[in-house]
Amino acid sequence: MSSFAKKAIEAIKKHPEIFSALEEFERTKKIPKFTYRKRLDITIDENILRKFKEYCRQQGFNMSRLVEKHILEELKTV
């Protein structure tokens, strides 16, 4: 078996979702999303939210991505 074929088989085993996405593209001619985002409805202090929005705007951060990053950091400590 060629080196390319071996690497392709290893890649399929390591990331089967990519192979499934290629199969789906062949069938529908549309690329499926690998990750899906879910809207979150939470309640926080109004002043904190105002400051956070302003901070993210000034720094050029996406609020959702920053919250996501901190959630992941918190989960690593568990």
19-77 pLDDT, tens digit each: 788 888 888 988 777 677 888 899 999 999 999 999 999 999 999 999 999 999 999 98
The CA distances from residue 16 to 22, 28, 63, in Å, are: 10, 18, 31
Domain count, the chain: 2
43 in the same domain as 19: no
pLDDT category at 1 given cuts 50, 70, 90 is low
E strands of the chain, at which residues? none
Same domain, 31 and 6: yes
This prediction's pTM: 0.54
Neighbouring CB atoms inside 10 A of 72's CB total: 9
Beta-carbon contacts of residue 37 (< 8 Å; ≥ 6 apart): 64
User: Do 16 and 3 have their domain in common?
Assistant: yes
Q: How far apart are CA 77 and CA 53, in angstroms?
A: 26
Does an H or E element contain 56, and which? helix 46-59
Let me know whether 26 and 45 are in one domain: no
44 and 27, same domain (yes or no): no
Same domain? 22 vs 58: no
In which domain, by residue range, is 21 found? 1-36
